[in-house]
Structure formats: C-alpha cells, structure tokens
Amino acid sequence: MSGYEARFRVWRGDEHGGELRDFTVAVNEGEVVLDIVHRLQATQAPDLAVRWNCKAGKCGSCSAEVNGRPRLMCMTRMSVFDRAETVTITPLRAFPVIRDLVTDVSFNYEKARGIPAFVPPPELAPGEYRMFQRDVDRSQEFRKCIECFLCQDTCHVVRDHEENKRAFAGPRFLMRVAELDMHPLDAAERSGLDRRRTAQDEHGLGYCNITKCCTEVCPEGIRITDNALIPLKERVVDRRYDPLVWLGSKIKRRSS
C-alpha cells in the first residue's frame, strides 16, 4: 500500500476558545495518528501543542478525541479510517483546555490524593505477606492502568456535568478504591477506615449506572465495570443491608 494525502481537522485554541482548522497531511503506510500530528507540527503548524512521551501506549500522555472517540493517538492506526474520511482530532472534552490538544488533567490528581493508600497489616513484616493467586491476579489487572484518563473523559457523569466533578471520583479512582477494598491484606478497616463507606459517600459510587463506557475505551483492556465497579457496588450493598452487619454496627455505635 502506498502513501496518500489525508484530510485532518484539528482543534486549535486555548482556555478562552478556539476552532477546528483544516489541514491536508501526507500519510505513510503503518502510521498512527500521533505520526500525523508530528508531521503537521514539522511542516505546517510548528506551534501546535500536543502531549506525548512514549509513542508505545504506555505513558498515557497522548490521550485525545479522534472523530469524537477518546483514544491514545499513538495507538490509533490511520488504517482504521477510510482514506476519504476527514479525521478530526480534539482535546479531551471532560477537562479544561490549556492549549490545542493539551488539557489540564489535575482533576484526576486531586481525586487520586483523596484515596488513602494500602494499610499494611501490623502483625506481618514485609516479606511475610501471603495471598492466593486469584487475589494477586485481580490486583494485577487494575495495576495495568497507565493513567491515560480516557475512562475519566468518557464517563457521562462528568463529561457533560462539570457540577458532578466535586462529588464523583470517576471510574479510574473508584477502581482504585475497589482494588484496595478487595485486597485481602489491607488493614484499613482495622485502622478505622471504611473504604466501602468512602466509596459511596466521598467518591460518588452511586452516580455510576454501570453503562460500561469506561471499559470500552480503556486501552489496557481493563474490565473496569465488571471487575471493579460492580463488585464494589455489591460490597457496599452487602455492608448496608446485611442484617448481621447492620446489628453489629448498631451495637458498636452504642458501646462507643
């Protein structure tokens, strides 16, 4: 297959506003969208702002929306588009634009800071931890996350509702709470931290209506909804409606 000229529409602007601009750029066989953005910078738009690092789908920096779908530009082959199609590249919609394709994703860092870390079991020294392989596998899946925030961008709870951002941590961080809550060695509860209560009351788990859009865009193929969000919801419900747990918490509250 030979090279060709493709039509691109790229959003240019900053926090005050902007517009889509049209370009025609050469495309070679095997190239990805990020290659084209780099060629655009090299030949026609040297001041075009774009964030990237690895060009290997591992750093999570080159997230943008390509034809309206949140994607990693370095992992999106040009061959998925029809040659006659105009490829439109816009910044992540859920986060404020800094310039062109670069957005301010600090919302995500703030949410990350709100989740207390793993609490080591006090009776075990590092090296004495023992876990079933299935528990290890579960954490491993969640830890494949490259923090590209595509799931955060696509989730409708915040995508069109800026006002929900305060109360909702988003799929990536609810997944983090789920990972810690399901960790067999996490001693949070013994130290007085109820991760399930915080998931519901502080991180907005109730806003999630398990549409699975986050799972569909995850470049690491993490089954965010099925393996993290739904199990976390079930664990919250178990805690709330299990009559023994309810009775136990009543007694505990009365005795304290």
Which residues of this protein are in contact with ligand FES, per CB under 6 A? Answer: 52-55, 57-62, 72, 74
Q: Does 209 bind ligand SF4 (CB under 6 A)?
A: yes
State which residue, 12 or 147, has the beta carbon closest to ligand SF4.
147
Strands 102-103 and 97-99: antiparallel
Tokens standing for 63? Answer: 């997230």
Q: Residue from 12, 55, 212, 239 that binds ligand SF4 (CB under 6 A)?
A: 212
State which residue, 119 or 150, has the beta carbon closest to ligand SF4.
150
The CA-CA-CA angle for residues 34, 39, 45, to 5°, reads 105
Kindly indicate which of the ranges 33-41, 87-95, 127-135, 215-223 contains the residues binding ligand SF4, using the contact rule CB under 6 A. 215-223
Q: In this structure, are residues 105 and 113 in contact, taking their beta carbons and an 8 Å threshold?
A: no
Q: Alpha helices, DSSP H only, in 114-193?
A: 133-142, 150-154, 156-159, 171-181
State which residue, 62 or 214, has the beta carbon closest to ligand FES.
62
SS3 state of residue 146: coil
Q: In this structure, are residues 55 and 77 in contact, taking their beta carbons and an 8 Å threshold?
A: no
Q: Does 148 bind ligand SF4 (CB under 6 A)?
A: yes
Q: Residue from 64, 97, 224, 232 that binds ligand SF4 (CB under 6 A)?
A: 224
Helix (H) or strand (E) run with residue 9 in it: strand 4-14
Kindly indicate which of the ranges 21-29, 150-158, 177-185, 244-252 contains the residues binding ligand SF4, using the contact rule CB under 6 A. 150-158
Phi, psi of 66 (to 5 degrees): -115, 115
State which residue, 48 or 178, has the beta carbon closest to ligand SF4.
178
Q: Out of ligand FES, ligand SF4, none, which partner does residue 214 contact, by CB within 5 to 8 A per kind?
A: ligand SF4
Q: Does 177 bind ligand SF4 (CB under 6 A)?
A: no
Nearest to 199 by CA among 184, 179, 215: 179
Region of 9 (left: φ > 0; alpha: ψ -120 to 50; beta: rest) is beta
State which residue, 40 or 151, has the beta carbon closest to ligand SF4.
151
SS3 state of residue 19: strand
Minimum Å gap between C-beta 120 and ligand SF4 is 25
Q: Does 141 bind ligand SF4 (CB under 6 A)?
A: no
Kindly indicate which of the ranges 9-17, 74-82, 132-140, 205-213 contains the residues binding ligand SF4, using the contact rule CB under 6 A. 205-213
Kindly indicate which of the ranges 6-14, 74-82, 89-97, 143-151 contains the residues binding ligand SF4, using the contact rule CB under 6 A. 143-151
As a whole number of angstroms, the distance between CA 214 and CA 159 comes to: 11
As a whole number of angstroms, the distance between CA 178 and CA 75 comes to: 28
As a whole number of angstroms, the distance between CA 210 and CA 233 comes to: 10
State which residue, 95 or 168, has the beta carbon closest to ligand FES.
95
Binding site for ligand SF4 (CB under 6 A): 145-151, 155, 157, 171-172, 208-214, 217-220, 222, 224-225, 229
